Amino acid sequence: MADLSGDSGLAALLGNEGFAITAELTPPVSGSADDLLALAEPFRGRVDALNVTDGPRALVHMSSLAAAAILSANGIEPILQMTCRDRNRIAMQADLLGASALGIHNILSLRGDDLPADQHPAAKPVFDMDARELIATATRMAQDGICAGDRPIVTRPHFFMGAADTPIDPPPGWRPEGLIAKADAGAGFVQTQLCFDIEIIVRYIGRLVDLGLTERLKILIGTGPLASARSARWMRDNLWGVLVPDSVIERLEQAADPSAEGIAVCSELIEAMRTIPGIAGVHLMAPVKALSILDVLARVRSEGSS
């Protein structure tokens, strides 16, 4: 596993076997720091780190690097998402150096969404590196002090590198080769796609434990509050890798208040995952209603203290 002793509070928490709770925030379409801080402030002190997305759905938002810098300067620990879609390796390494100089050390490496033809018909994707190569490049910069063109780095950056993964129900003999490659490249933590099936989570994480991967990677399972049965079905059918079992959809259909039931489902999943060996935390996502995450956190905290 990557060294967790750097300047990342998230790394320190996970290195001490703490159960981490992170959440995801999409920067506004704005040129004002105040608009970003208005979105982020409710999460202060309630999550251990806050992801800032990098052009989700290939749409223009405030730069994730700028957003992460603003959060860091205002006492909120960010996780900087970096996608490989929009920049070549020179630009990405420049941004990595800039991130470290700004006190941003948690980096989540992602491929990035494809460009929608109806939004940016003239835009061109880059994909000069893939997510694993970005992790390996950042690790080389931090460990060897070398960047593009074998140029020496005056002061080495500090990174706690993250990777993405998608939980599956592992078939016999399954090995997560992509995840293993990311661990070999230097990843220290993983945030997964949304999963609401606790039985699949148990089998997925169990296989990672058996393969020794949870000794190398801190695994944070993705979940979040579901708004309704209709929303849950749409996510399952349209978002790649999202797992929502029929039993959860039935609960939402039968509930007098589907939104409250979605918060209850998420809270129950978090409490269950706290007890599963190999799970280091959860990553909460609610792209449409981000503040509903706060209702989950309030319920989890209340149940945990009772």
Alpha-carbon distances of 87 from 53, 91, 266, rounded to whole Å: 15, 6, 35
| Dist CA 132 CA 130 (whole Å) | 6
Q: What is the pLDDT of residue 6?
A: 59
CA 210-213-218 angle, to 5 degrees, is 125
Q: What is the pLDDT of residue 305?
A: 47
* Long-range contact pairs involving 151-159 (C-beta distance under 8 Å, separation at least 24): 153/97, 157/96, 157/97, 157/99, 157/100, 157/101, 158/6, 158/7, 158/8, 158/100, 158/105, 159/6, 159/96, 159/100, 159/105, 159/106, 159/107
Note whether 212 and 249 are within 8 A (CB): no
Type of residue found at 10: L
Residues 6+ apart with CB under 8 A from 20: 10, 13, 14, 48, 49, 218, 220, 280, 281, 282
| Dist CA 177 CA 105 (whole Å) | 26
Residue 68 has, within 13 A of its CA and on its CB side, a CA count of 28
Token reading at 48: 């251990």
Helices vs. strands in the chain: H and E counts, helices first: 11, 10
Token reading at 69: 């810098």
Q: Which structural domains are found in the chain, ordered by start? A: 9-305 (3.20.20.220)
Question: For residue 175, how many other CB atoms are within 10 A of its CB?
Answer: 11
Q: What is the pLDDT of residue 306?
A: 39
Q: What is the pLDDT of residue 304?
A: 52
Sort 181 into a burial class: Cβ within 10 Å, 0-12 / 13-18 / 19+.
middle
Query: What is residue 164's three-state secondary structure?
Result: strand
Q: What is the pLDDT of residue 303?
A: 61
Q: What is the pLDDT of residue 116?
A: 74
**Residues facing residue 82 across a β-bridge:** 109
Note whether 56 and 113 are within 8 A (CB): yes
Alpha-carbon distances of 121 from 33, 58, 111, 117, 125, rounded to whole Å: 29, 12, 20, 5, 11
Q: What is the pLDDT of residue 37?
A: 98
| Dist CA 67 CA 72 (whole Å) | 9
Tens of pLDDT, residue by residue, the chain (306 residues): 444 445 799 999 999 999 999 999 999 999 999 999 999 999 999 999 999 999 888 889 999 999 999 999 999 999 999 999 999 999 999 999 999 999 999 999 999 878 877 777 788 888 999 999 999 999 999 999 999 889 999 999 999 999 999 999 999 999 999 999 999 999 999 999 999 999 999 999 999 999 999 999 999 999 999 999 999 999 999 998 999 999 999 999 999 999 999 999 999 999 999 999 999 999 999 977 788 999 999 988 666 543
| Dist CA 67 CA 207 (whole Å) | 36
| Pick from 296, 291, 285, 202: nearest CA to 23 | 285
Q: What is the pLDDT of residue 114?
A: 81
pTM score over 0.85: yes
